[in-house]
């Protein structure tokens, strides 16, 4: 089982602080994911030199809409930073007209990258809340056909949904997302912004998130899938100190 930890590079001090916390967890976490958030000045791939590759696999995120098909910009970044794996997502258009973007689909970009770098490990995302099950599974298969070797999910809050997607993705690397929600306001945000339908027994507090996380970790070890932590505005020590992280 692999465990990935997402660090948002708001600034270098914030990145370093979170990365030091990850290192304090020992060898339980072996992958660092870095999303490319447009409102922050640091690009995901610029973090490459700040991650200890002897301890952590580095997976930067790229937004397909930021790159034009037929342009070498993405290829130049891959070579300049000696990337061995990356995660391609669609990306949301920027607010206003402050940034240029292209009508590049993530499937087209996956295929283009794999044609140029057949040995590169290209991951993609999936969202269990975006579409119905059949539509999302068909979208996943199209990304596999384009060359994606594994998938990182948006966060789950219902073990029944995890069962369904893990069963559907037995032949690829599957990372089940966990993003603890500890306030009612955050729960409302996920419901409105990301179409999450929470189970009736869900509680937006630390103890529920910790218990849920430990159940998912246990099942991941037993069933052979991986876990992807996306901590947002939580007390890292309070949450992770009570998780039964594996010791490899």
- Distance, CA of 11 to CA of 40 (rounded, Å): 7
Beta-carbon contacts of 34 under 8 Å, excluding residues fewer than 6 positions away, are 6, 7, 8, 9, 44, 47, 58, 59, 60, 61
What predicted TM-score, i.e. pTM, was given to this entire model? 0.94
Residue by residue, pLDDT tens for the chain (248 residues) are 999 999 999 999 999 999 999 999 999 999 999 999 988 999 999 999 999 999 999 999 999 999 999 899 999 999 999 999 999 999 877 665 567 788 999 999 999 999 999 999 999 999 999 888 899 999 999 999 999 999 999 999 999 999 999 999 988 999 999 999 999 999 999 999 889 999 999 999 999 999 999 999 999 999 999 999 999 989 999 999 999 998 76
C-alpha 49/C-alpha 83 separation (Å) is: 10
Write down the pLDDT at residue 147.
97
Radius of gyration over every alpha carbon of the chain, rounded to an integer in angstroms: 18
The whole-angstrom separation of Cα 199 and Cα 158 is 6
The end-to-end CA distance of the chain, in Å, is 9
DSSP assignment letter at 94: P
Asked whether the beta carbons of 35 and 6 are under 8 A apart, the reply is yes
| Predicted local distance difference test score (pLDDT) of residue 248 | 62
CA-CA distance, 165 to 174, in Å (whole number)? 9
Q: Are 230 and 176 in contact (CB under 8 A)?
A: no
Q: What pLDDT score was predicted for residue 157?
A: 96
Task: Catalogue the E-assigned strands of 16-162.
Answer: 31-34, 57-63, 85-89, 121-126, 150-155
List domains and CATH numbers for the chain: 3-240 (3.20.20.220)
Q: What is the pLDDT of residue 171?
A: 87
**Residue 170's pLDDT is what?**
87
* 165-177 b/e (C-beta count within 10 Å ≥ 16 → b): bbebbeebebbbb
Indicate if the alpha-carbon torsion angle 137, 139, 145, 147 is positive or negative. Answer: negative
Separation of CA 152 from chain center: 5
């Amino acid at each position: 089982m692999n465990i990935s930890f997402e660090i948002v590079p708001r600034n270098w001090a914030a990145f370093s602080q979170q990365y030091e916390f990850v290192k304090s967890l020992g060898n339980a976490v072996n992958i660092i994911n870095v999303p490319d958030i447009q409102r922050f000045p640091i690009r995901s791939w610029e973090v490459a030199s700040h991650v200890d590759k002897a301890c952590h696999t580095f997976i930067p995120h790229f937004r397909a809409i930021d790159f034009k098909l037929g342009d070498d910009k993405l290829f130049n970044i891959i070579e300049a930073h000696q990337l061995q794996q990356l995660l391609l997502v669609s990306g949301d258009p920027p607010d206003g007209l402050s940034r240029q973007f292209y009508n590049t689909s993530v499937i087209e970009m996956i295929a283009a990258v794999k044609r140029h770098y057949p040995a590169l490990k290209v991951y993609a995302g999936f969202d269990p809340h975006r579409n119905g099950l059949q539509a999302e599974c068909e979208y996943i298969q199209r990304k596999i056909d384009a060359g994606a070797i594994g998938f990182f999910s948006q966060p789950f809050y219902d073990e029944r949904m995890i069962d369904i997607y893990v069963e559907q993705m037995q032949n690829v690397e599957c990372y089940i997302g966990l993003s603890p929600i500890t306030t009612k306001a955050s729960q409302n945000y996920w419901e409105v912004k990301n179409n999450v339908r929470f189970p009736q027994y869900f509680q937006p507090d630390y103890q529920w998130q910790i218990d849920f996380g430990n159940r998912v970790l246990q099942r991941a070890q037993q069933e052979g899938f991986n876990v992807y932590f996306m901590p947002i505005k939580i007390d890292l020590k309070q949450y992770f100190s009570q998780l039964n992280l594996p010791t490899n």
